[in-house]
């Protein structure tokens, strides 16, 4: 009886290990090209924030202008969404499976505006 229980335990343990190994191998890794694209987008958002234009674009919810600026930079299709603390301020795009995303935060002004998150989706 002990031998049968040991065999069952070994089968269960090996199937759990197999599932873990299979799930780790099925996770897609970020390509180097995708990494540099996201890095370029983050640098562009940082420079737009430094000169003050990103704050204006964000608080006007002008996703199209920001999308055009970023698409000219990275030569790929991008979608931009703006989020406030607990709500989406713009519509979410229908996305394919192969995307990368970059998040950038802008602080709010004391009692006038809340902080915003800018989320840029890059279509691979």
CB-hemisphere CA count at 13 Å for 102? 22
Higher pLDDT: 7 or 111? It is 7
Overall pTM surpassing 0.75 (yes/no) = no
Position 62 scores a pLDDT of 87
> Helix 63-74 to helix 32-50 angle, to the nearest 10 degrees?
130
CA pseudo-torsion sign 72, 106, 109, 90:
positive
Residue 113, SS3 per DSSP: coil
Q: What band does 34 get if pLDDT is binned at 50, 70 and 90? A: confident
Pick the residue with more confidence: 98 or 51? 51
- Nearest C-alpha neighbor of 100 from the set 74, 62, 68, 82: 74
Domain layout of the chain by residue ranges: 30-123
pLDDT of residue 68: 92
């Amino acid at each position: 009886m002990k031998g049968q229980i040991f065999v069952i335990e070994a089968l269960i343990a090996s199937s759990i290990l197999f599932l873990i190994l299979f799930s780790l191998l099925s996770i897609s890794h970020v390509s180097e090209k995708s990494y540099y694209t996201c890095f370029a987008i983050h640098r562009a958002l940082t420079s737009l924030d430094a000169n003050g234009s990103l704050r204006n674009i964000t608080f006007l919810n002008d996703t199209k202008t920001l999308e055009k600026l970023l698409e000219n930079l990275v030569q790929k299709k991008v979608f931009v969404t703006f989020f406030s603390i607990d709500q989406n301020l713009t519509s979410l795009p229908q996305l394919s499976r192969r995307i990368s995303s970059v998040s950038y935060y802008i602080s709010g002004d004391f009692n006038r505006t809340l902080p915003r998150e800018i989320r840029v989706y890059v279509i691979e």
